[in-house]
Chains A and B, each alone.
Chain A
């Protein structure tokens, strides 16, 4: 046995006691009584609950069937912890929920017991049209501060692959967690911890192994943090059966997972006459590799609607290409399958890429077929093909040569690009009888740009009128395109008004247009004209003017005193603002904000305000160069963020000078005494 810390040994002794006790025939099981007696350390006041005891026992039968028993015990520490009185257990057509019970142990009172028949059952409601997963929910009585809530369930399933995951439920602090696996004689396993320093297994008896953890801290939630899925503590296990007939379900490496998936999807890409006809129709008259691939990709991405129907193995296995084409609908794997089938008809190879839309959720060191929730396609790029330079999302993998990664599900991300959540993310590229984990590229900031330019005229009373042109490229175009396409013209105007209302007062949007909304490969261009009353803030003798008319940089709330997790940006980007404000006669700059320059490894920021004649020019460039900001860079990030906020709030002080030209409206730009605005508006009818 390996070295254990004192804490771990105490935990093991405790666990040994806890697991030896037998459940009593009725009432509260002894494991829960013991867990309830555990001394609870002092946690911060806002800790909602502590997970006293988490246990999962996975028993694998000789034929690969699995029985798992889960036990959980929470102590509720304050009102926010009452949510732990809501118990939900999931099952589906291939997972039998054979037992569910829950208890509440009110302080100084008898326990409550709830049985499965008291549960409310429901389907899952999500983006999936139909999913056979259901949940049973129990509302445990007396789920209030000071009380203990416990539940236990048993599920039986026949897994598609021989692996198991033990997720430590550390949304709150975990006092003790135990995982046990019971394997048939002759079976072996490989276990890897993710986001946790290794706890070694202990052999109990007869190929039964256990892992015990104690005092696992709660997963803090912070703004702009990586996905909680990527940070969750878990033990990933793969099993090796001694029965050769089961070996095909053993997936201990990415390669084996790739092979398993290749077999699972075998035949699904088979082209039919209808598919061949459709391909011929779509590529008719097209000569180049680029045009043909783009035509097929566009068809699947745009014309096949997203509909997910997932029943049993259907959560993994795509529908055949022919039925996807026939129905003109499918989910991500169905779309990838149809596109692969069509590409095959023009002699282009392509490969499934299994991926998770939460960047970082796939841990390279812990292979698991359950890591993924999405599928895209890697299109092989023949060496002799004339590949357009704008197909940026390329990479290589063993045995495939150069490939282009393409997401046929994301309707607004054109060929050559990738949705932000997939960039710098790991995917399993599946080839014939094989698979390899590849890192998808992070597209550079130069591709994801916003170029915003505005020409404005300031009036002597502070009104601002002007035109703005906003050119959006790459992901900056895709996100807006998605937002605009799902809105009517009226709603688009409201969208723009909402944007302006966050930054301007008393504005009127006079006109707005959008170009290239449906030309996905082109830059999205917004043009709008607005006026804002009292943009310049007249004081009694001065006027204040914010030179940064529009746009707020920075992602999320980065005003933190300290943080636990690194910061993750969604994508690399470069954003430029140039605003020219023509000043009226009689107002001259008295003080200008100083220029700002900030350079770091992960982001740059520059801004300046200059005056040329009577034109005030504000320029800035904000560049995010990489998506992860490590712990050691956080302080620098915070200072950068403060500089950006300061710059965005900075003001130009304008001084009034005597204007030799008489104004038709009286003394230029001087408001004089306090003004009573529009009283007549409100005199009647309210």
Chain B
């Protein structure tokens, strides 16, 4: 009878399980964010927009599906369209998808993170953190400058 060294067996089993996790990095690790900012607002403001530059530095498409923050009850990715002088704003229900090696800008007059019902209107001295949630459930925190 062959004696099975359980210790070695478990070790091999564990490393076999670990391989898939190491091989595919989480989406959150492949998103590079820069210039994340939001404007300082009047104390009566109930909504806000956050802007930032995104870059996919990985080899797979990134899907940003949700956002959350402490300073607002609800956060969503939104887009804006100007048609015949009419400004329309709506949710990007599928979030934002970034192909490998591509950049995307959330900016004034364009796509942005929309915060609803601010619980705290930030001033320039405040630290604001936004959490981006990816399709693979990974998350990434980003510090927002209030300008």
Q: Do A and B form a real pair?
A: no
Interface residues of A, Cβ cutoff 8 Å to B: none
